[in-house]
Structure formats: structure tokens, C-alpha cells
């Protein structure tokens, strides 16, 4: 884990991405109403911050389940292709085995017509296990010429066909397991979102207004932090330019991590990043849909994957894998195109555009948009990764 990651501190946070004021207020109020209904008379009503955290946890669980769904879906797709390939191979080998059996049968029939008793070649047609085949190879000592070649071809075809059938059976078992994981993850996401919709239906106008005010203050704080980061990055750039003019070396980073400054990305990265960002900007306004990879809708990792694909860079499907698909850099040295990951369980990602801002697909009920990377506080940032 990168040295700049900060430990999580208790406080009001929404898992994943902040919803717009309406959605956040709606979901928060439902949790509040639910808890109030169950509370004993005279028991203190939980604060809005406490309620918001509970609602945030609900969304975090849904977002985590979404990434598990994405991983299971990808694995299921690959496993299904493998099963199809194996079954096709088994069919071809079975055809060859039948051809070899037919040729071997002709020798057995000829031996039978001559009155030679139980044909040696016929015993190979009765083999059902690898041990049977091994035992019957002893018969080859009594055969010569084309007859022996036919038997050897049959034995080879049968052995390989049996092995492929076993491999296909194991792959089918694995496919069944991954399909089960996919079904479980899908059910979890649907359940969490259904709970959110139910909570939303219980929203009161007063709670909506109060929570909207809290959300506005958080957005203002996130914007302030973004501006502060932009100022730090501008100062670093000026220091680099001055050092270059004076022939000096790298300067010390002025970010909160206090680590030695990472060398700036090369020009090729900048070119690719511009293409990725151009794609991401073109998706602004499209809805978040869990499990979606475009072109009409996206989830968070689906958007970043599609954006970098437009730049010719192949990223893994899930946040869990994307976080390892590049070089980790300090937050203070983030550059446009870098991926910004959130939370200790790495369940959300956005693409940095500069000045402390990013483009991301937030969560159900929202749309792809620009937002401060501090939308959920600086402690929510897990890491910055530079792909390509």
C-alpha cells in the first residue's frame, strides 16, 4: 500500500460516491425514519450525520457487490468460452475416435469370419477406462502391420478423447460455480438498491431540506480542498520549471505525503491521457448503471476502462484489478489521466482531470459528471495510479 494513503477516521461519509443532495437526503431520511420507528419511546433520535453514515454503508455494500458482480461476469464469460472450446474439441475427437473404431471394427469382423475366436482387435472396442487401454496394449504384441497401426490410432484417439471429456467436465463445474457467484452478487446489488428505493419513498420535505444543506456544505469543502491541491500542483510545476532553467535536479514534493517527487509523466502518456479524457468528457450526462460498460451507461470502473481503451490502453474490468494496473503516485502529484481510487476496499474509481477534479460515474440515480476528488473527504482517497 502506498505511503500516502491515510487511515480512515470516524465521521460522516457516504460509501462510493456522494449522491446529489436530493438522493442523499432521501436515502438518509429513510434510515432515520426506520430507526426512529424501532426506537423505544423517549430514546434519542440519531443525528443526521449518523443516519447519513448508515445510508452510505448501504451504498458502499451495493458498490462492493457491483465490483464482485463485474469480476464474476468477466470470469463467467471467459469460462464459458473455454467450455465451448473444449466441447467443440471433444466433438471433433469423438468423430475421429468413431472413424478409428470403424476401421478397427473391420479388422475384428474379418478375424471373426475366419473363425479365429474372440478377435484381438475387438477387445479394444470394449475399453472403458485408461486401465483397460493399458491392459489391452499387451495385445499389440500379437499384431503386425496395418492392424497394429489401426489399433494404436484407436487407443490414442480414445485416450485423448477421455482426457478432453474430463477436462470439459471440470470446466463445466467451474462455470457452474462462477455462475453462482454472479447470481449472488447480482441479488445483493438488487437488494441494496431496492432498500434505497424504499427509503427514498419515505422522505419528508423537512429532512430533504436539512440534508441538502449538509450536502451543500460538504460540496463546498470538497471544492476548497480541490482548489488547494490545484495551488500545490501549480507551485510544483513552477519549481520544476525554475530548476530546469537553472540546471538543477528534481525538487522535493510539496504534497501532504512529504515523499520525494515522482518524475513527471512523459509526453506519450500525456497524449494518451488526452484521448482518455476526451472520451470521458463525452460521456458526461450518461446515467450510472451498475455492471454497465457503455456506450449508453456506465458504472465507475466501466467508465475508466472504456476511457483508457479509447486511448489504446487495455485496463482490467474491476477496480480491484485496475488499482494494480499502473504506477502509484502521491495525490499531490496527480496528473490528468491518472486513476483515483477510493476507500480501503477499493470500490470506486474516477479519472483525474486536473485542479483537484475528476470525471466519474458516481452511483445509481446519478450521472457521469465532474466532481472534486475530495467529494467524500481526503481520507476516502485510497491511491492515485498512473496507467500506460
Query: Which residues are known to be catalytic?
Result: 300, 348, 360
Interatomic CA distance for residues 191 and 50, integer angstroms = 22
| Residue 316 burial (10 A CB sphere; 0-12, 13-18, 19+) | middle
Q: How far is CA 193 from CA 27, 173, 295, 341, 347, in A?
A: 10, 31, 22, 22, 16
Q: How far apart are CA 277 and CA 353, in angstroms?
A: 7
d(CA 357, CA 354): 6
Inter-residue contact 139 to 123 (CB < 8 Å):
yes
Any idea how long the chain is? Answer: 388
Q: What is the dihedral of CA 314, 319, 368, 209, to 10 degrees?
A: -170
SS3 content of the chain, % helix, strand, coil (to 5): 60, 10, 30
Amino acid at each position: 500500500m502506498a505511503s500516502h494513503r491515510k487511515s480512515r477516521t470516524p465521521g460522516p461519509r457516504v460509501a462510493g460516491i456522494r449522491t446529489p443532495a436530493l438522493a442523499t437526503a432521501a436515502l438518509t431520511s429513510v434510515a432515520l425514519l426506520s430507526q426512529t420507528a424501532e426506537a423505544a419511546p423517549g430514546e434519542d433520535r440519531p443525528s443526521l450525520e449518523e443516519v447519513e453514515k448508515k445510508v452510505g454503508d448501504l451504498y458502499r455494500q451495493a458498490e462492493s457487490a457491483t465490483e464482485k458482480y463485474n469480476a464474476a461476469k468477466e470470469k463467467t464469460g471467459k469460462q464459458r468460452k473455454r467450455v465451448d472450446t473444449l466441447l467443440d474439441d471433444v466433438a471433433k475427437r469423438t468423430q475421429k475416435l468413431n472413424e478409428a473404431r470403424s476401421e478397427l471394427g473391420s479388422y475384428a469382423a474379418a478375424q471373426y469370419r475366419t473363425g479365429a475366436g474372440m478377435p484381438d482387435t475387438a477387445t479394444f472396442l470394449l475399453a472403458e477406462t485408461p486401465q483397460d487401454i493399458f491392459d489391452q496394449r499387451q495385445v499389440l504384441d500379437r499384431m503386425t502391420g496395418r492392424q497394429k497401426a489401426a489399433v494404436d490410432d484407436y487407443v490414442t484417439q480414445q485416450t485423448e478423447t477421455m482426457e478432453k471429456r474430463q477436462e470439459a467436465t471440470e470446466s463445466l463445474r467451474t462455470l457452474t460455480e462462477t455462475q453462482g457467484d454472479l447470481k449472488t452478487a447480482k441479488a445483493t446489488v438488487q437488494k441494496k438498491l431496492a432498500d434505497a428505493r424504499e427509503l427514498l419513498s419515505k422522505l419528508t420535505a423537512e429532512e430533504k431540506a436539512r440534508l441538502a444543506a449538509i450536502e451543500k456544505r460538504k460540496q463546498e469543502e470538497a471544492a476548497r480542498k480541490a482548489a488547494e491541491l490545484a495551488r500545490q500542483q501549480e507551485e510544483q510545476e513552477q519549481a520544476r520549471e525554475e530548476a530546469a532553467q537553472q540546471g538543477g535536479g528534481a525538487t522535493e514534493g510539496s504534497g501532504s505525503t512529504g515523499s520525494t517527487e515522482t518524475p513527471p509523466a512523459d509526453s506519450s502518456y500525456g497524449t494518451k491521457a488526452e484521448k482518455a479524457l476526451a472520451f470521458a468528457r463525452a460521456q458526461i450526462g450518461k446515467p450510472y448503471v451498475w455492471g454497465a460498460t457503455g456506450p449508453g451507461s456506465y458504472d465507475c470502473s466501466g467508465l475508466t476502462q472504456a476511457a483508457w481503451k479509447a486511448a489504446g490502453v487495455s485496463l482490467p474490468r474491476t477496480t480491484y484489478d485496475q488499482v494494480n494496473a499502473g504506477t502509484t503516485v502521491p495525490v499531490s502529484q496527480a496528473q490528468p489521466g491518472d486513476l483515483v481510487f477510493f476507500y480501503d476496499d477499493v470500490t470506486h474509481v474516477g479519472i483525474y482531470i486536473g485542479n483537484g477534479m475528476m470525471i466519474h460515474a458516481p452511483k445509481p440515480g446519478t450521472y457521469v459528471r465532474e466532481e472534486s476528488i475530495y467529494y467524500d473527504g481526503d481520507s476516502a482517497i485510497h491511491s492515485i495510479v498512473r496507467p500506460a
